[in-house]
Amino acid sequence: MARASMVDEVHYYATLARDTGEEALDEHVMQSLGTVERHQFVPAHQQPFAYENRPLPIGHGQTISQPYIVALMTDLIEPDHDFVVLEIGTGSGYQAAILAKLVTHVYSIEIIEALAATASARLAHLGYDNVTTKLGDGYHGWEEHAPYDAIVVTAAASHIPPPLVQQLKVGGRMIIPVGGRFMTQQLLLLERTTDDEVITRQIAAVRFVPLTRER
Ligand code: SAH
């Protein structure tokens, strides 16, 4: 089956890259990757490629991330059953679906109206009833449901948005690509250690679409 071989490839990739410092990604994360139907999250003409370990275009100049990167980011926040997670950049809804299998609730914000509408309808149709989406600029986070156990940012920011750090629980983790638009970015893992302290760790060089701002 195509999805199973994608999972094998991600597993193999993780063993080589060891971006987490561990040999393998968390088994629950791998199970989620093996369950979520990625072909449901891409446009019809991309479906033949849905189980290849690479990003794919989803329209509006945006992409669904590479499965390995989705798995890596999910692994690094160390998801637990009782987690409430905020995602910035709903895009196709795929990362939200992967998270939804692992945690209590996922809140996800998307800035492009058409993508937000499609993803929200798709997630509802596929039965992901523990995902709540909204249209907006994720730079400001989603105060109403804060604080979060973890925050996953899937668009590259020039800096770590202070509102997101504020909305993270003490002890919580945020995974975020940071860097400019025309360069590779650094995937950063941030942990809020106290009310006013964070520690960050550089994980890998990555390429994400930019975090855009509401005008
Ligand atoms: N997580 C997505 C990946 C989407 S690519 C998936 O699994 O498919 C990143 C997404 O971030 C794009 O859809 C882009 O429109 C969105 N984005 C960019 N800037 C944003 C912002 N300020 N707030 C919310 N979403 C943003």
Extents of the domains making up the chain: 2-206
Question: 60 C-alpha to center of ligand 1: Å?
Answer: 11
Q: In the numeric block, which tokens belong to residue 75?
A: 């692994």
Catalytic choice (5, 32, 65, 120): 65
Fold held by 2-206: Rossmann fold (3.40.50)
Q: Is 109 in the pocket of ligand 1 (CB under 6 A)?
A: yes
Q: Is 108 in the pocket of ligand 1 (CB under 6 A)?
A: no
Compute how many other C-beta atoms are within 10 angstroms of the C-beta atom of residue 5: 12
The tens digit of pLDDT for each residue in 101-128 reads 999 999 999 999 999 999 999 999 999 9
Spacing of C-alpha 28 from chain mean position: 16
Residues 6+ apart with CB under 8 A from 53: 6, 9, 10, 13, 66, 67, 68
pTM value is 0.98
The tens digit of pLDDT for each residue in 137-176 reads 999 999 999 999 999 999 999 999 999 999 999 999 999 9
- Give the N- to C-terminal CA distance of the chain in Å, as an integer: 45
Rounded to the nearest 5°, which phi and psi values hold at 99?
Answer: -65, -40
